[in-house]
Structure 1
């Protein structure tokens, strides 16, 4: 890893279901980062309602973005939590940390591996190259999911606090992701406050991560905060690529 400070930006929940919102986010990040130096987290069948395999037009767009330099991560399979959580702590996390979208929080190793391999095969066929890695929906992982990552052959994985290489377990970046929540006014306000604090607190960090979601495009205050955060963090820092963490 070089000493150069970097900003890793990503668009989550990339799916035919949110095509217009994804377009808006691509335009926004491209303008502020000076090109396609960001990642996309692709959901193969968002909420089992938007199968990527059936949408040739969106497949072509993903391939074009990948050809232009956008890094493509596998982002679960459906992004929908269909597990029953016997563990009280996991049930609490599933209820309060995400709106029923922590797909991999309750999966055992076998089912997690099946979904990972299925998503990896589809996305790699679409983009014509290896996926950059795997990031669980809502950054929530069961122990089985973490174990399955090594077998699935992903170069990188990420949760809310770190990026690591599943093959070795080596942590290659630390620090919270700066992100925003749009699904309620209280969550909007708390995410705005967190972004304001973190973009100052992390100004000297060697690597910072910023993640945006389709829902952000519907809330002008969130878009203003995203712009302010990117502008602050790009002072003395360049847009980076996750692949540098895999290779370092």
Structure 2
């Protein structure tokens, strides 16, 4: 049976940077123990909020390469992850309600988006010694010019909240909401826990289920418990897989 016909579970750790190394370690251990393999993805931020640059030859860069060598897929996840653009209209609503000033690629020009994508790709690929798996914008938010830049890039795969697609052709290779958690407030945490519980029952018909975790998730035991429960529930009936397998 072709890999693309299998029911898959795609798990990912977002916001991987030197500043989140301890939390990423914990999440990587949780995913590895729960899935019983290292078939998951890491989304790497080259210079998180301009405070945590990744540099070749550093201990953290060596860890990235070791993680990649173990089979973990590496995505480029923006450059700064911080959004400094003043937004209007629908973009303003997205920037205000869907993220805490982290939709970096929501308001960038084509040239700036293309530059940050290419610089991120070059840095990550130089460190891991292989092609990156693809590009995923911070907070899964893409402005129209960033979408054009992504289409013209060499990245093999991209995703947002509701789908995974091939940038150059627009072909959608997986559909359905990503399961993720929010730790910024009590209300957001409660809402994300409720959605995860619903998703554990409702998303089984999907061919591909996506689960995304963040460093902030490690601050709340309720979220960590929900992550483990969600992964275990879906792992019973589907195989932990790679994003690249969607393209075969």
TM range (shorter): over 0.9
Q: Could you say what secondary structure the match of 1:61 adopts?
A: helix
- Segments of structure 2 that go 5 or more residues without pairing to the other structure are none
Aligned to 2:79: 77
Residues in 1 aligned to 2:193 and 2:237: alpha-carbon distance in whole angstroms: 23
Aligned to 1:22: 24
Q: Could you say what secondary structure the match of 1:81 adopts?
A: coil
- Segments of structure 1 that go 5 or more residues without pairing to the other structure are none
Structure-to-structure mapping, 1:80-229, within 5 angstroms:
80-85=82-87, 87-229=88-230
Count of residues in correspondence between the two structures: 246
Indicate if the aligned counterparts of 2:182 and 2:217 stay in contact, CA closer than 8 A. yes
Residues in 2 aligned to 1:208 and 1:179: alpha-carbon distance in whole angstroms: 11
Aligned to 1:64: 66
What does the per-residue CA deviation read over 1:49-74, in whole Å, with 9 as the maximum and x for residues that have no partner?
00002770000000000000000000
RMSD: 1.0
Q: Could you say what secondary structure the match of 2:52 adopts?
A: coil
TM-score (norm 1): 0.97
Residues in 1 aligned to 2:224 and 2:35: alpha-carbon distance in whole angstroms: 15
Indicate if the aligned counterparts of 2:110 and 2:145 stay in contact, CA closer than 8 A. yes
Q: Could you say what secondary structure the match of 1:211 adopts?
A: strand
Deviation of 1:186 after TM superposition, in Å, equals 0.6
Question: CA 1:168/1:97 → structure 2, altered by over 3 Å: closer, same or farther?
Answer: same
Deviation of 1:245 after TM superposition, in Å, equals 1.5
Indicate if the aligned counterparts of 2:49 and 2:81 stay in contact, CA closer than 8 A. yes
Deviation of 1:3 after TM superposition, in Å, equals 2.1
Residues in 1 aligned to 2:113 and 2:57: alpha-carbon distance in whole angstroms: 24
Deviation of 1:82 after TM superposition, in Å, equals 1.1
Indicate if the aligned counterparts of 2:179 and 2:212 stay in contact, CA closer than 8 A. yes
Indicate if the aligned counterparts of 1:16 and 1:55 stay in contact, CA closer than 8 A. no
Runs ≥4 residues deviating over 3 A:
none
Indicate if the aligned counterparts of 1:203 and 1:232 stay in contact, CA closer than 8 A. no
Question: CA 1:49/1:55 → structure 2, altered by over 3 Å: closer, same or farther?
Answer: farther
TM-score (norm 2): 0.97
